[in-house]
Amino acid sequence: MIHPTITLITERIKARSQVIRANFEDKTAYQAEQGKGRASLSCGNLAHAVAASCRQEKQQILDFTRANLAIVSSYNDMLSAHQLYKNYPDQIKSALQSLGHTAQIAGCVPAMCDGVTQGQPGMDMSLFSRDLIAQSTAFSLSHNVFDATLLLGICDKIAPGQLMGALSYAHLPTAFIPAGPMPTGITNDKKVAVRQQYVAGEVGKDALLEMECQAYHSGGTCTFYGTANTNQLVFEAMGLMLPGSAFVAPNTELRSALTEHASLALAAMTADSANYRPLVDVFTAENLVNGVVALLASGGSTNHTIHMLAIARAGGLVLTWDDISELSDIVPLLAKIYPNGPADINAFEQAGGVPALMKALHERGLLNSNVKTVFGEFADQLTQPAITDSKLVWQPVGESSNAEVIAANGQAFNQTGGTKVLKGNLGQAVIKVSAVKQEHQFIEAPAKVFRCQHDVEAAYQAGEFTGDCVIVVSHNGPAANGMPELHKLMPILGNIQKAGHQVALVTDGRLSGASGKIPAAIHVSPEALRGGTIGMIKDGDIVKLDCSTGLLEVAVDFDQRQPVQLDTEASQITWGRDIFKVMRENVGGADEGASFLF
Ligand SMILES: O=C(O)C(=O)C[C@H](O)[C@H](O)COP(=O)(O)O
């Protein structure tokens, strides 16, 4: 039996999305009706599209009975998660060639890393890269010579952006091809400990760098449960990749077999086949809700409270923070992966991975099971891939094999999900409580107000945090400076907490998916630059944050205060940020997906 709240929220999303979904479906149907893209091109158009292909490939692409797949890749050779994609196009092309089909690298999208840009100017452009990637994906597909789309993308803004772009070509069958996580390095707890020692002056930079290089050491996604791995888990739960494929280790026989299988399966479901399965049939309100449920049950990244709204909008659906919050009230926390616990994503995979989590959720009636996936039906999502007798097979997934990482049958780590919405006289904000200890889930303390994360660091070094406080970092919203992640503050706030003080963060900026132990009301909307009251808080104002009641309140009558006039553009003229002004001016609020596209 499906939980009534799942049905209620799914139906609610459909009802409020009626008009834009109808427009989305009409647009997609129109594109489908035009037939094979290649057939509508002139001879000159076609000649350009195959000019660089070898003779055999050229003939196959010009033979419209064969499938030609678009590869939209985020490969670059400096980002660990994306570096693995180097040989994927060749592997995909040679698998397809065995059946006379082809693939072309339709385009490469930019891919930036929040680990590299944390605390740096580049971070101010990070969130905007998602929408730019959506546009780049649409550019890649715009040559219109393709029958299906393979998305090679993993990390934080890249995979959401690719999906948003692919949704503008939702008449094509579309799938993600994941590449897998890096092997486990030193533990995340050790990583955090050394960082806290460094900011407290107890170890030097050499020790810090050595530790960081042991944590980040080879190809693959980072092993904590940050935004990249949340993308993978959520998109598998939404049926957008092969079941059980998200976290299979790189460079294994199984990983290669999955990539080849996905390519061949997609080539067999193009518009001219009886198995035609366009993205529009898979990207539904039902699958969207399944993705949000999986996000909550796994304690996933807070960035997804922004990305899921923007992705939904790209597919003609309106998802709200209230939907997420109400789902959070009925979805238990069933996985404990760092920062929610000590285990990493490899331990999660060994415990049964996404299929085991889906099985546990399904048994509780928390998933819509009347859905199609890219490659099959809902039941397939409860199976795991394996190589048996040199063949790729899927077997029914068992119970969790490690109850410390995926809760044992009928058990839960927490009765409610990881993410809540806070409301009060600052508007609304998001908080992730899955890693916040119970005793830190309520705080009432004086504000210490900053406009920039580096000023918090300076105040900490000057010994200014000597008691309970709520650190407010305003003017860090999407319109102000692109809404950077403020994850570098975590070791500092961790040390203030360790010193025995109550501490919380309140900001209109973001945090990394890897943040979690400090109570943090983030994505405060409306943001300060657009008149949000967060910009009017003064040092000493009493801020109350109560996770149990969902309250974020400042004991102030804001009607008596004037907004602070701050020239945020002055900080945006260097390191390329000046050419992103058009995005800052046009971006929507975080509670609408922080997009400049819609
Ligand atoms: O997941 C996200 O949203 C991220 O931004 C990932 C970044 O790589 C982290 O900032 C690095 O995580 P730590 O090494 O734990 O500091």
Taking residues 17-25, report their average pLDDT: 98
Taking residues 348-352, report their average pLDDT: 98
Residue 515 in contact with ligand 1 by CB distance below 6 A: no
User: What pLDDT does residue 190 have?
Assistant: 87
Least confident interval from 157-171, 191-205, 465-479, 584-598: 191-205
Q: What is the 3-state secondary structure (H, E, C) of 527-550?
A: CHHHCCHHHHCCCCCEEEEECCCC
- Residue from 289, 271, 372, 278 nearest 328 by CA: 289
Percent of the chain whose predicted confidence (pLDDT) is above 70: 100
| pLDDT higher than threshold 90 for residue 196 | no
Residue 558 tokens read as: 């804001």
Q: What is the pLDDT of residues 353-379, one digit of tens each?
A: 999 999 999 999 999 999 999 999 999
Residue 239 tokens read as: 């049926």
* Ligand 1 geometric centre to CA of 57 (Å): 41
Residue 512 in contact with ligand 1 by CB distance below 6 A: yes
Q: What is the 3-state secondary structure (H, E, C) of 367-380?
A: CCCCCECCCCEHHH
Residue of 190, 229, 306, 512 to test ligand 1 pocket, by largest number of atoms within 8 Å of CB = 512
Judge whether 352 and 244 are in contact, CB under 8 Å.
no
Q: What is the pLDDT of residues 285-339, one digit of tens each?
A: 999 999 999 999 999 999 999 999 999 999 999 999 999 999 999 999 999 999 9
Residue 284 in contact with ligand 1 by CB distance below 6 A: no
* Ligand 1 geometric centre to CA of 310 (Å): 21
Residues 6+ apart with CB under 8 A from 217: 182, 183, 185
Q: What is the pLDDT of residues 225-234, one digit of tens each?
A: 999 999 999 9
pLDDT band at 565, cuts 50/70/90?
A: confident
Taking residues 522-548, report their average pLDDT: 97
Residue 156 in contact with ligand 1 by CB distance below 6 A: yes
Measured CA to CA, the distance from residue 385 to residue 352 in angstroms comes to: 11
pTM value is 0.97
For atom 5 of ligand 1, the residue with the nearest CA is 512
User: What pLDDT does residue 271 have?
Assistant: 95
Q: Report long-range pairs for 210-214 (Cβ below 8 Å, ≥24 apart).
A: 211/186, 214/185, 214/186
Measured CA to CA, the distance from residue 325 to residue 214 in angstroms comes to: 37
Residue 88 tokens read as: 């994927």
Of ligand 1's atoms, which has the minimum distance to the CA of residue 222? 8
Kindly report the number of other CB atoms within 10 A of residue 253's CB atom. Answer: 10
For residues 384, 299, 301 and 537, what is the CA-based torsion angle, rounded to 10 degrees?
Answer: 170
Of ligand 1's atoms, which has the minimum distance to the CA of residue 192? 15
Measured CA to CA, the distance from residue 596 to residue 128 in angstroms comes to: 8
Residue 226 in contact with ligand 1 by CB distance below 6 A: yes
Judge whether 348 and 247 are in contact, CB under 8 Å.
yes
Residue of 79, 118, 196 to test ligand 1 pocket, by largest number of atoms within 8 Å of CB = 118
* Ligand 1 geometric centre to CA of 485 (Å): 9
Q: Alpha helices, DSSP H only, in 298-412?
A: 304-314, 321-330, 345-350, 353-363
The whole-chain average pLDDT of the chain stands at: 96
